[in-house]
Amino acid sequence: GRLKEAEDAVRFAISLEPSQEPAYYHLGLVLAASGRGEEAKMAYRQTRQIAPESPFGQAAAARLRDLGEAVPAPPGPEPKRAPK
């Protein structure tokens, strides 16, 4: 049905531009809605790998937590050192 069509469309978008994290995030949504949680986790992880601090990367982290996965915080800036 519609979820299969959505999955096909998102996978096609990924094939055209594999570095776009929104496509992986939306693939995760479609897979989760299809009851394919492990595959959804993989798509969300890919979203985070591409752009962990983007809005889609942050949303993917929330989805992963919802699916029971521990998600490390993205690396922060280097700590400032006191002058000598």
Nearest CA-CA partner of 73 in 54, 43, 53, 47:
53
Provide the residue ranges of all domains of the chain, joining segments of one domain with +: 2-66
> Architecture of 2-66 per CATH?
Alpha Horseshoe (1.25)
The answer to pTM > 0.85 is: no
The contacts of residue 36 (CB under 8 Å, 6+ apart) are none
| pLDDT tens-digit map of 36-82 | 999 999 999 999 999 999 999 999 999 999 998 888 776 666 667 77
The contacts of residue 2 (CB under 8 Å, 6+ apart) are none
Nearest CA-CA partner of 32 in 67, 69, 79:
67
Q: What gap in Å lies between CA 8 and CA 77, rounded to an integer?
A: 38
pLDDT at residue 83, rounded to an integer: 73
Cα dihedral value 25, 27, 30, 34, nearest 10: -120
